[in-house]
């Protein structure tokens, strides 16, 4: 988006220590809450049965979504589908986590280094899953100015990430929060709250179609989008430009026409 004309519509990197996820003791069921439930949820997130957005709403609450995830895990492992986390489910979860702890396969992505530059311009996703990535150009070549604008409460605009001309990545809003980057929109022709389900990435570029996007930007963008696509299981056809989701059609033009989509996709 050209951030000065955007319309407002209303975790964090995994550390090496946090990457170690283990199965909690057996005996958890619907209605339980506390650190052992959170441990179970973290394990289910790691194995792909829950999303981070689903478990970010409370401190370890065994609710309907957790029960559904346990039931799905049980079905996949040919266990009684009770939704109760008992001894058999504990043993299967422990085994699955052991298998999942193998070194990453070649071609997998880790989160690139980011500079934290928090913006107040965000709100809750309301439990919505992340399934879309939206790319923008900022509308100027002044990264410092663009960053300051998105961090200004009066601007009422933001993005999750901004890529400067030198490839440096700034994170303004946590992935789990709803940044204000897309305005009124649709996804593949269906009206939707794009901000509520997407990650927004601003690329510092004036949007003229004549100013090249830099090699450093393409390199950082490929790593960042690759990581986000992998982390949130974003379908390839949901990696889009602002112009693809904005309504009415033609309201936005970013990223500019000289952005090389083929170069990005070839690296993912």
Per residue of the chain (268 residues), what is the pLDDT tens digit?
555 444 333 333 333 334 588 999 999 999 998 999 999 999 998 888 888 777 776 678 999 999 999 998 998 888 899 999 999 999 999 988 886 555 555 568 999 999 999 999 999 999 899 999 999 999 999 999 999 999 999 999 999 999 999 999 999 999 999 999 999 999 999 999 999 999 999 999 999 999 999 999 999 999 999 999 999 999 999 999 999 999 999 999 999 999 999 999 999 9
SS (H, E, C) the chain: CCHHHCCCCCCCCCCCCCCCCCCCCCCECCCCECHHHHHHHHHHHHCCCCCHHHHCCCCCECCHHHHHHHHHHHHHCCCCCCCCECHHHHHHHHHHHHHHCCCCCCCCCCCCCCEECCCCCEEECCCCCCCEEEEEECCECCHHHHHHHHCCHHHCCCCCEEECCCCCEEECCCCCEEECCCCCEEECCEEECHHHHEEEEEECECCCCCCCCCHHHHHHHHHHHHHHHHHHCCCHHHEEEHHHHECCCCCCCCCCCCCCHHHHHHCC
Query: What is the CATH code for 35-100?
Result: 1.10.101
What is the C-alpha to C-alpha distance for residues 66 and 30, in angstroms, rounded to an integer? 8
What are the sequence ranges of the domains in the chain?
35-100, 110-266
d(CA 238, CA 128): 15
Please tell me the predicted confidence (pLDDT) of residue 1.
Answer: 57
Return the CATH number of the domain spanning residue range 110-266.
Answer: 3.40.80.10
Give catalytic residues, as residue numbers.
202
Same topology between domain 35-100 and domain 110-266: no
Cβ–Cβ under 8 Å, residues 220 and 168: yes
**CA-to-CA distance for 67 and 85, rounded, in angstroms?**
9
Supply the pLDDT for residue 7.
Answer: 37
């Amino acid at each position: 988006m050209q951030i000065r004309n955007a319309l407002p519509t209303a975790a964090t990197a995994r550390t090496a220590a946090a990457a170690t996820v283990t199965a909690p003791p057996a005996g958890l069921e619907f209605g339980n809450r506390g650190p052992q439930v959170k441990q179970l949820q973290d394990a289910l997130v790691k194995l792909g049965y829950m999303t981070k957005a689903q478990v970010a709403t409370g401190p370890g609450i065994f609710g309907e979504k957790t029960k559904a995830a346990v039931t799905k895990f049980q079905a996949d492992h040919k266990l009684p589908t009770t939704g109760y986390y008992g001894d058999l489910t504990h043993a299967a979860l422990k085994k699955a986590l052991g298998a999942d702890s193998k070194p990453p396969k070649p071609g997998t992505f880790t989160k690139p280094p980011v500079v934290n530059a928090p913006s107040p311009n965000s709100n809750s996703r309301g439990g919505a899953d992340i399934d879309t990535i939206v790319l923008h150009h900022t509308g100027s070549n002044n990264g410092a100015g663009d960053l300051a604008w998105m961090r200004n409460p009066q601007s009422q605009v933001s993005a999750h990430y901004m890529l400067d001309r030198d490839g440096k990545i700034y994170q303004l809003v946590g992935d789990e929060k709803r940044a204000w980057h897309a305005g009124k929109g649709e996804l593949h022709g269906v009206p939707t709250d794009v901000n509520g389900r997407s990650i927004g990435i601003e690329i510092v570029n004036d949007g003229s179609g004549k100013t090249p996007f830099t090699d450093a930007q393409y390199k950082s963008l490929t790593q960042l989008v690759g990581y986000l696509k992998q982390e949130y299981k974003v379908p390839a056809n949901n990696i889009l430009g602002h112009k693809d989701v904005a309504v009415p059609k033609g309201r936005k033009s970013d990223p500019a026409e000289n952005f090389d989509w083929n170069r990005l996709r070839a690296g993912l």
